[in-house]
Amino acid sequence: MKNPFNYLQFAKGDQFYDRREILADLRSRFLSGQTNVVIYGPRRYGKSSLVSELAERLENAGIICFTFDMVKMATVSLFAEAYATRLYRRLAPVRSGVRQIADFFKRLRPKLTIGSDGEAGFTFDAVPGGMGPEELSEVLDLPQRLSDGKRILIIMDEFQEVESMLPDCGFERVMRSVIQGHRNVSYIFLGSRYHLLRRMFTDHARPFYKSAITMMLDKPPLEESVAFVCSRFESAGKVIAPEAARRLVGRVANIPYYIQQLGFETFRLVDEDGRKEATAEDVDAAYGKLSGFNRDQYEQAMLSFSVAQKQLLIALAREETKEFDAEYRSRHGLGAPSTVNSAKKKLVEDGYIEHVGGMCCISDPLFAGYLRS
């Protein structure tokens, strides 16, 4: 029987739940006119699924959408070539009388290439002095110049990675200057290192300060998650009692990605046994299996941490906290406040811990389970 849970792809259709209100709000904003939005939140909360569903609905309404992932863009030159290629492939067909892409550049000399997939792409001849702000401006202005009057939405995933391309917010300043003149193009900015992304748009000293509507994606309501789990089992002809579904949701801290993952494993165990109903014991057994699958990964991660980082992670796995006061530090054998703060800062930056609802906690609930075992 086909498993009704899916954690390897974006949630769509009846696997997409809870985000109806924010989805309707975003669709309305982009249909009504040009706007920019930054969506931030902890990892695995469903940002990519939300934006994928939004893009599909906007495409049906006539807005051209595409996603560009910044995570592989180590240099400005790599970004420029990849961005120009993606834009031209996506937007050139809608233009009447497509001109050579060279017509859009003054400082850059593009060369047409044909990739292994048979599609056209671009490289740029070496720029004296390297790819700088002026050259970057020409690339970033391509969406508006290629739009030909069409409405376009560009989704910039892992946008916080631009910090490493040009030092001292150089990329941010150039892009902010360029896109504020765009009339047919809107932007959504996403990122898994959400504390960095949030800082880019809320720090008054940064170029993108107040340049986009900021939306925080929080956890779904608990009861909606429980109802979702029950409905997925029912859709496949099986049953899970609300109490067991609530246990499933609770074991993974009500985080959408992990709900799908634990739901998948729980359903698989029940289905392989030829049973119709999933119990709380099945949930616990599935949780144990998932923790075991990831054990090697977690052990390798632990080898990379300092002693202070390990102590802090184990403490948070046992007890989440709002503040690391003297009582908490004493109870868990932690060091001085400066040592704890230094360890926390590094773990937040690397995505191992995060602040949710005012509480500091482990980002991955399966990792937290491993640390408690």
Residues 71 and 50 in one domain: yes
Asked whether residue 368 is domain-assigned, the answer is: yes
pLDDT at 98: 37
Task: Tell me how far apart the 2 most distant CA atoms of the chain are, in Å.
Answer: 72
Residues 248 and 363 in one domain: no
Residues 62 and 101 in one domain: yes
Q: Report pTM.
A: 0.82
Residues 80 and 165 in one domain: yes
Asked whether residue 337 is domain-assigned, the answer is: yes
**What backbone phi and psi angles, to 5 degrees, belong to 278?**
-95, 140
Question: What is the rounded CA–CA span in Å between residue 113 and residue 251?
Answer: 50
Asked whether residue 298 is domain-assigned, the answer is: no
Q: Residues 227-239: pLDDT tens digits?
A: 999 999 999 999 9
Does residue 369 have a pLDDT over 50?
yes
Residues 115 and 58 in one domain: yes
Asked whether residue 322 is domain-assigned, the answer is: yes
Residues 269 and 328 in one domain: no
Number of domains in the chain: 3
Q: Residues 281-334: pLDDT tens digits?
A: 999 999 999 988 889 999 999 999 999 999 999 999 999 999 999 999 999 999
Asked whether residue 225 is domain-assigned, the answer is: no
Residues 150 and 265 in one domain: no
CATH assignment at residue 131: 3.40.50.300
Percentage of residues in the chain having pLDDT higher than 70: 88
Question: What is the rounded CA–CA span in Å between residue 322 and residue 335?
Answer: 17
Residues 162 and 98 in one domain: yes
Closest among 216, 202, 205 to 357, alpha carbons compared: 216
pLDDT band at 46 (very low <50, low <70, confident <90, very high): confident
Q: Are 160 and 197 in contact (CB under 8 A)?
A: yes
Residues 124 and 62 in one domain: yes
Question: What is the rounded CA–CA span in Å between residue 310 and residue 113?
Answer: 49
Residues 149 and 33 in one domain: yes
Q: Residues 131-180: pLDDT tens digits?
A: 778 888 888 998 998 888 889 999 999 998 888 777 666 889 999 999 99
Does residue 191 have a pLDDT over 80?
yes
Does residue 67 have a pLDDT over 70?
yes
Does residue 60 have a pLDDT over 80?
yes
Asked whether residue 83 is domain-assigned, the answer is: yes
Question: What is the rounded CA–CA span in Å between residue 241 and residue 296?
Answer: 33
Which residue, chain included where needed, has tokens 């916080």? 160
Asked whether residue 71 is domain-assigned, the answer is: yes
- What is the residue range of 287's domain? 232-293
CATH assignment at residue 333: 1.10.10.10
pLDDT at 95: 45
Question: What separation in angstroms does the CA of 184 have from each of 38, 82, 137, 141, 173?
Answer: 18, 21, 17, 11, 20
Burial of 9-41, coded b for 16+ CB within 10 Å and e otherwise, reads ebbeeebbbbbeebbeebbeebeeebebbbbbb
Please identify, among 293, 321, 340, the residue that sits at the C-terminal boundary of a domain. Answer: 293
- Both tokens assigned to 16: 């997409």
Question: What is the rounded CA–CA span in Å between residue 282 and residue 233?
Answer: 13
Q: Residues 82-137: pLDDT tens digits?
A: 888 888 777 765 443 334 566 666 666 666 666 666 666 667 765 656 677 888 88
CATH assignment at residue 267: 1.10.8
Say how many C-beta atoms besides its own lie within 10 A of residue 140's C-beta.
20
Mean pLDDT for all residues in the chain = 87
- Give the N- to C-terminal CA distance of the chain in Å, as an integer: 33
In one-letter notation, the amino acid at residue 150 is: K
Asked whether residue 108 is domain-assigned, the answer is: yes
Question: What is the rounded CA–CA span in Å between residue 248 and residue 236?
Answer: 17
Q: What is the DSSP letter of 13?
A: G
DSSP characters over 333-357: T---HHHHHHHHHHHHHTTSEEEET
Residues 140 and 78 in one domain: yes
Please identify, among 293, 326, 343, the residue that sits at the C-terminal boundary of a domain. Answer: 293
Question: What's the whole-number mean pLDDT along residues 26-33?
Answer: 91
In one-letter notation, the amino acid at residue 8 is: L
- Both tokens assigned to 224: 């909606």
Closest among 290, 351, 299 to 44, alpha carbons compared: 351
Contacts of 315 (CB under 8 A, 6+ apart): 328, 332, 333, 334
Residues 178 and 240 in one domain: no
In what helix (H) or strand (E) does residue 367 lie, and over which residues does it extend? helix 365-372
Burial of 194-215, coded b for 16+ CB within 10 Å and e otherwise, reads bebbbbbbeeeebbbeebbeeb
Please identify, among 272, 293, 314, the residue that sits at the C-terminal boundary of a domain. Answer: 293
User: How would you classify the pairing of strands 353-356 and 359-362?
Assistant: antiparallel
Burial of 260-269, coded b for 16+ CB within 10 Å and e otherwise, reads bbbbbbbbbb
